[in-house]
Amino acid sequence: MNIGNQPLTSLSAAPPECCRLLRRYKGTFVSPLRGKEGSAAATSGAPLPGGELESGTLELQEYSQLRERYLRTTHALASAAHDLKTPLAILNGYVELLQSEKLGSLNDRQREVLHDMRSNGQRLQHYIQDFLSFGALETGELKMRFETGNINACLSEVCRLWSPRFQEKGLALYFLANEKVMEFPFDAPKLERVVFNLLENAYKFTPAGGTVWLHAEPNLWDRRTMSSPLVAQERRRHPLTHANSVKISVSDTGPGIPAEYHLEIFDDFFRLPSSDHAEGMGLGLAIARRLVQGMTGKIWVESEPGAGSKFSFIVPLKPPTSESEEC
């Protein structure tokens, strides 16, 4: 069943203020079940008393109104970001032209000012792109396009783009292609975006002298769900013996993340209390989560304070279909 263009069971996609209202609907108690990876599901429990049916209907209407307001706000943010994108690109182009000294030579002070202008322009451009991606994901306008490709080449390209920034900060970035990973259909631009966001997160929070590793490997993913007991029993009788997915991980030697934030860190606009000084709006990991879910994969973090962090996500070797079960 769909409410406000969102499935009733997709609590992770609902705005935080709407989650409470999703817990009752027409005599059925709906409770979110979150796993290690932050996925959400819903189960039916005891029916609501008859006297609460009308209350549940009113809450459903209230949720629908909140959802509509939320989508209008998202559209407004995306429109504003789109309107800023073109003039900012023009400004960045002029800065690059001045830096090239094709319009005249520059002194050291002028080079320093232009360098700062370009850095801040690129940072603002990144924020705008985050808003555009977030808006497209929220409104369902971002579609997946799966094409058979080599994931090692995809990851190598992302590393190539990040290497100069890592070297500038004094960080070591390691990636070794894994020949055991076969070619399979995946959405290369969106998978690159997920890895890009994870590397950006590692870059921001790993101190100088630290190390970041990017790794990919074949993975055997037993996608059992509580809502499909018969499927689970069938899989137990016929256990999986071959890899059916690829697991990609980004590990770092940063400060680590307390266990109580392992789920919340993937929420929209969330920032750790200890990271108020860090750049960004708290959308990078939220966008990564939505993109991975769009590939019917899953994403999670393993970390503890003082021991670094390891962000991992899994994508299936077979592209999802409209009949694919949710994870």
| Domain spans, the chain | 2-70, 81-138, 147-316
DSSP-derived secondary structure for 292-314: HHHTT-EEEEEE-TTS-EEEEEE
pLDDT at position 181 over 90: yes
**Residue with tokens 């304070």, as numbered in its chain:** 305
pLDDT of residue 88: 79
Alpha carbons 156 and 149: distance in angstroms, whole number: 13
pLDDT digits (tens, 9 = 90+) for 227-244: 444 444 555 555 567 889
pLDDT digits (tens, 9 = 90+) for 143-157: 888 999 999 999 999
The tokens describing 83, both together, are 């309107």
Alpha carbons 32 and 100: distance in angstroms, whole number: 55
Residue with more model confidence, 12 or 309: 309
pLDDT of residue 74: 67
- Nearest by Cα to 89 from 124, 130, 42: 124
Q: Chain-centre distance of CA 152, in angstroms? A: 20
Neighbour tally for 215: CB within 10 Å: 16
pLDDT digits (tens, 9 = 90+) for 50-85: 556 666 788 888 878 787 776 777 667 767 766 777
pLDDT of residue 269: 82
pLDDT of residue 206: 94
pLDDT digits (tens, 9 = 90+) for 28-55: 333 333 344 443 333 444 555 555 666 6
**Residue with tokens 């579609």, as numbered in its chain:** 143
Neighbour tally for 155: CB within 10 Å: 22
Residue with more model confidence, 200 or 323: 200
The amino acid sitting at 211 is: T
How many CA atoms lie within 13 Å of 7's alpha carbon, on the beta-carbon side? Answer: 7
DSSP-derived secondary structure for 223-264: ---TT-HHHHHHHHHS---S--EEEEEEEE-S----GGGTTG
Whether the CB-CB separation of 213 and 245 falls below 8 Å is answered with no
Alpha carbons 256 and 242: distance in angstroms, whole number: 33
pLDDT bracket for residue 197 (50, 70, 90): very high
The CATH class for the domain spanning 147-316 reads alpha beta
Name the pTM for this structure.
0.65
